Amino acid sequence: MLDIIHHGGATGVTGSCHQLILNSEHSLLIDCGLFQGEDAEKDSFAQLQIEFDISTVQALIITHVHIDHVGRLPYLLAAGFKGPIICSEPSAKLLPLVIEDALKIGFTRNAQLIQRFQEQLKQQIVSVPYGKWHRVAHNTIGTARIKLKRAGHILGSCYVEVACQAAETNEKERIVFSGDLGAPHAPLLPAPKSPHCCDQLVLESTYGNRTHPDRRQRRAVLRKAIEQALANGGTVMVPAFSIGRTQELLYELEGIIHEAKNHQWSTLEIIVDSPLAARFTKVYRELKPYWDDEAQKRLTRGRHPLNFASLYTVESHTEHEQTVEYLAKTGRPAVVIAASGMCAGGRIMNYLKAMLGDARHQVLFVGYQGAGTPGRAIQQYGQGGWVEIDGQRIDINAGVTSISGYSAHADQRDLLNFVKRMRRWPHTIRLVHGDQTARETLKSELESLYKRKGMRVTIMS
Ligand SMILES: [Zn+2]
């Protein structure tokens, strides 16, 4: 059995980085993510450095472009990694945008340096079509091939199948790295299909102990929030991350507005107040061939799911300030999507400061709120409570709602199905990318699944 070293993302949900040891001189790296939130150490500089030997790494394979899976790429390049960076075709389009942003935030503001990095990155990116085998190592000791399959998490996301064959013994082993798996019925993306088989499975477990409400329930909550905004002349503030969730939400909003066919609904403005989210939305639009069947149907009917008439993008900071003031004063019903997703900085803060005190407005959380963030405080204390923003105490009179299903992660049932639907189940499962409770719960669920089948499994968590 081939060894796998987890350099990150094994005990927490961020910093994903796994090294598959093919032999003493060859290895593959799967993801190279940034540690965030509680996983990040105080002395983060040391944590960011690539502290392991990269001389054996034949290739880096990227499962998707979320920062907790690709954010340490600049450090990997700085450490001298010259090998191919393999990813799906949509990821190859999204990755340079993500890295540019990551460089600006955490690495350097020097435009020349950023440019150099980007050029190097573009030279090393190798995009591989979904479902096709691609050879990553071939030498006297053996061969390793990889195949990327759709993971339904964000556009371009994949899970990775690695097929290894030792030259001398002809011994074969198949390893699957799940990356982040999406939930079925996610807007825009087709659901992931399980691989045929594997020997070892590295499985994410973010929601290993939870079940999401279904899409219909989520849409109902979203619809209700909008109806309230229309009735009160209020704004629905949605703190959201740039990639994935924002586009899913826009897609759902277009659907809800289209169904309503009501004149009042056409007065509703949908505002994306984040230049970065707007850039990602643009690339999402260019990647239509990768959308799912439902989205394709909307297109053939002449609809524009990510570019509809009432959608506005706010670019400059002046424009942003004007929008905050305009919405706070006019009572024009609107939905505003702005970063950061956990209200820990970004443009959403100005909206919150201007509108939390007014009962006409609402905050709608569509993602996980980390402990210690203002987002968590608003979610926890809700209407009638208060929150401290920039040292200022702000009373919460606005409504507060949370929808948990837009996180684009498979829940417990989906994770179990991923294993169940394989023809031949893995004998070893390594649970990663989940907190301890999630991993332990999923572990016991998987164990009883195997037991019922009378099969043995080793689960490392
Ligand atoms: Zn992700």
pLDDT one-digit tens code per residue, 287-321:
999 999 999 999 999 999 999 888 999 999 999 99
Please, which residues have CB within 8 angstroms of residue 220's CB and are 6 or more apart in sequence?
A: none
Res 28: pLDDT: 97
How many whole angstroms separate alpha carbon 72 and alpha carbon 14?
11
Could you tell me the distance, in angstroms and rounded to a whole number, from the CA of residue 410 to the centre of ligand 1? 11
Please, which residues have CB within 8 angstroms of residue 414's CB and are 6 or more apart in sequence?
A: 181, 183, 184
Could you tell me the distance, in angstroms and rounded to a whole number, from the CA of residue 387 to the centre of ligand 1? 28
Could you tell me the distance, in angstroms and rounded to a whole number, from the CA of residue 91 to the centre of ligand 1? 12
Which of 97-101, 187-191, 265-269 is least confident? 265-269
Domain 215-406 class in CATH: alpha beta
How many whole angstroms separate alpha carbon 34 and alpha carbon 75?
10
The DSSP symbol for 135 reads: E
Could you tell me the distance, in angstroms and rounded to a whole number, from the CA of residue 267 to the centre of ligand 1? 34
Ion ligand 1 nearby residues (CB, 5 A): 66, 180
Res 15: pLDDT: 84
Mean pLDDT of 125-143: 93
Could you tell me the distance, in angstroms and rounded to a whole number, from the CA of residue 153 to the centre of ligand 1? 7
CATH 3.40.50.10890 domain residues, the chain: 215-406
Could you tell me the distance, in angstroms and rounded to a whole number, from the CA of residue 437 to the centre of ligand 1? 19
Domain 3-210+408-459 class in CATH: alpha beta
DSSP 23-53: ETTEEEEE--PPP-GGGS-SSHHHHHS--S-
DSSP run (H or E) holding 237? strand 235-239
What's the pTM? Answer: 0.90
Query: What does the chain come to in residues?
Result: 461
Could you tell me the distance, in angstroms and rounded to a whole number, from the CA of residue 66 to the centre of ligand 1? 5
Which of 37-41, 178-182, 383-387 is least confident? 37-41
Res 14: pLDDT: 74
Could you tell me the distance, in angstroms and rounded to a whole number, from the CA of residue 384 to the centre of ligand 1? 34
In this structure, what token pair is assigned to residue 192? 């992931």
Handedness of CA 26, 30, 34, 36 (dihedral sign): negative
Cβ atoms 122, 92 nearer than 8 A: no
Cβ atoms 414, 183 nearer than 8 A: yes
Could you tell me the distance, in angstroms and rounded to a whole number, from the CA of residue 415 to the centre of ligand 1? 15
Res 223: pLDDT: 93
Residue 136: name the closest of 52, 53, 62, 49 by CA.
62
DSSP 310-376: TEEE--SHHHHHHHHHHHHHH---EEEEES-TTSSSSTHHHHHHHHTT-TT-EEEE-S---TTSHHH
Residue 76: name the closest of 13, 133, 19 by CA.
19
Burial class (CB in 10 A: 0-12, 13-18, 19+), 383: middle
Amino acid at 11: T
Could you tell me the distance, in angstroms and rounded to a whole number, from the CA of residue 122 to the centre of ligand 1? 22
How many whole angstroms separate alpha carbon 91 and alpha carbon 62?
8
Could you tell me the distance, in angstroms and rounded to a whole number, from the CA of residue 352 to the centre of ligand 1? 26
CATH 3.60.15.10 domain residues, the chain: 3-210+408-459
Cβ atoms 427, 457 nearer than 8 A: yes
DSSP run (H or E) holding 95? helix 89-106
C-alpha dihedral over 409, 414, 415, 421, to 10 degrees? -140
Could you tell me the distance, in angstroms and rounded to a whole number, from the CA of residue 222 to the centre of ligand 1? 23
Could you tell me the distance, in angstroms and rounded to a whole number, from the CA of residue 94 to the centre of ligand 1? 13
Query: For 225-268, how does the pLDDT look when each residue is reduced to its tens digit (9 = 90+)?
Result: 999 999 999 999 999 887 888 999 999 999 999 988 777 787 89
Could you tell me the distance, in angstroms and rounded to a whole number, from the CA of residue 43 to the centre of ligand 1? 24
C-alpha dihedral over 198, 202, 204, 208, to 10 degrees? 70
In this structure, what token pair is assigned to residue 15? 């910093």
Res 286: pLDDT: 95
